[in-house]
A and B are shown apart, each in its own frame.
Chain A
């Protein structure tokens, strides 16, 4: 049996007395597009941020290609995480840079020694035009600043920046949030294309069931920090799991209860 691209075991994280992740075990095989669903506050974003190294978990292991990134030396952690590209919920474009510079930054920052010398700034800007075309934008958009773009265009540029370094692993945090259904479908299509072209392993977190089924071939659901279901994305709408069914069909009644904040 091959080593999963990402293997998570016993991952736990609490903020004060609030347990956000409670012993998560998850395997993501190479080339898989895993969609993680769950309500607000279920721990999806924290899980993603733990894998990215943005939050330090309290316990557990996160392995990439069989190597525990949490115990690896800092330099090795950086190398392991260099193969990850990330599309943030709000795109998180650098507003002090032009669109082309944002993509060129991603291209230069993720460039590894085995790919030859780091491209110059001007060369990277040239290459950014081609990457913009890959996400369906005209290269002239590169001259604009992020604040001049619509939400959908910002997401595309964020995707362009994420794929610029040709990462082996791609993360998507609520990729369709705030977009109209057509633009959401366009972004999902671009994500699927990019993942397929790069042959990457992908993890997406989303509330959007249509998006989840378009992007993913595997799916998992988090509830109160625990992984309560894992299966095929195609089975999301009729999983046979009461929690998943309630969530995916948006029913008020069921095992999932809305927690009131005290």
Chain B
């Protein structure tokens, strides 16, 4: 009897745990957002997070985008060569970068770099009573720690993705012209012909959603971390893994929403 019921009970517990966790995350997000319209707003925290996320992530995002664009051009050239449609490479590169690779790769890089840092910083504050100290100093920790980071993440990632889009296309252009023998003017014309405003806009909408999710998961796991250094480590891992999975899930949902027809 137990052999039959135990797995079902375990599955039920897992589903209930997932529902509870999702609800707690949603409530956390709502509370964080609600402080956007209730003063005071901590501009210094917002600006420092914006710079940390948007500016100091530039090198890693730029390099990732540059090489990804270059690799797509190379792979497409080899693959499309079988069907003699190498001329489509410029369009493939620009669409892949603006619609998918720019936001997704920038998001994953920022999740690893900034999401982890947010979780570790807030988690350390939690286990060393600094968050309680904020409360005793008449400062709402959600308003002080979470809301500025949510806003900064939502704004910073689209800015990074604009740079990633440009550099991704540049990577494809450089390989196509320098290595594969494309004419620069032909490549640029093909790129501009293939690119639609909607592709860039949807990529930026995705980036904003990803930035929000990364900051949300980083803050949520840090804020709820327990048990000293080990707890902070677990929270950081959970923040990065959770943000990466949610980012890919939302990428599918947003792609389906905007491009499925």
Contacts and interface: CB of A to CB of B under 8 A. Distances in A.
A86 B121 CA distance: 22
Contact of A85 (B121, B135, B136): B136
A78 B124 CA distance: 25
A84 B128 CA distance: 20
A106 interface: yes
Interface string A147-170: 000000000000001000100000
Identify the interface centre among B128, B129, B133, B135: most chain A CB within 10 Å of its CB. B133
A92 B137 CA distance: 12
A229 interface: no
A110 B137 CA distance: 6
B130 A92 contact: yes
Nearest to A52: B136
A92 B121 contact: no
Contacts of B137: 105-106, 109-110, 161, 165
A90 B125 CA distance: 12
B186 interface: no
Contacts of A106: 137
B208 to A, nearest CB: 27
Interface in A48-99: 49, 52-54, 78, 81-82, 84-86, 88-90, 92-96
Interface in B116-172: 121, 124-125, 128-130, 132-133, 135-139
Nearest to A78: B138
B132 A96 contact: no
Contacts of B125: 94
B135 A88 contact: no
B116 to A, nearest CB: 16
A93 B134 CA distance: 10
Contact of A54 (B121, B124, B130, B132): B132
Identify the interface centre among B129, B133, B136, B139: most chain A CB within 10 Å of its CB. B136
A86 B138 contact: no
A76 B128 CA distance: 28
A52 to B, nearest CB: 6
Identify the interface centre among B125, B132, B137: most chain A CB within 10 Å of its CB. B137
B136 A86 contact: yes
Contact of B135 (A52, A90, A95, A165): A52
20 contacts: A52-B132, A52-B135, A54-B136, A78-B138, A81-B136, A86-B136, A88-B132, A88-B133, A90-B129, A92-B130, A92-B132, A92-B133, A94-B133, A95-B128, A95-B130, A96-B121, A106-B137, A110-B137, A161-B137, A171-B136
Given A86-B136, A96-B121, 15 more contacts: A52-B135, A54-B135, A78-B138, A81-B138, A84-B136, A86-B133, A88-B129, A89-B129, A92-B128, A92-B132, A92-B133, A95-B124, A95-B130, A105-B137, A110-B137
9 tightest CB-CB pairs across the interface, nearest first?
A: A92-B129, A92-B133, A86-B136, A109-B137, A82-B138, A88-B129, A109-B138, A92-B130, A109-B139
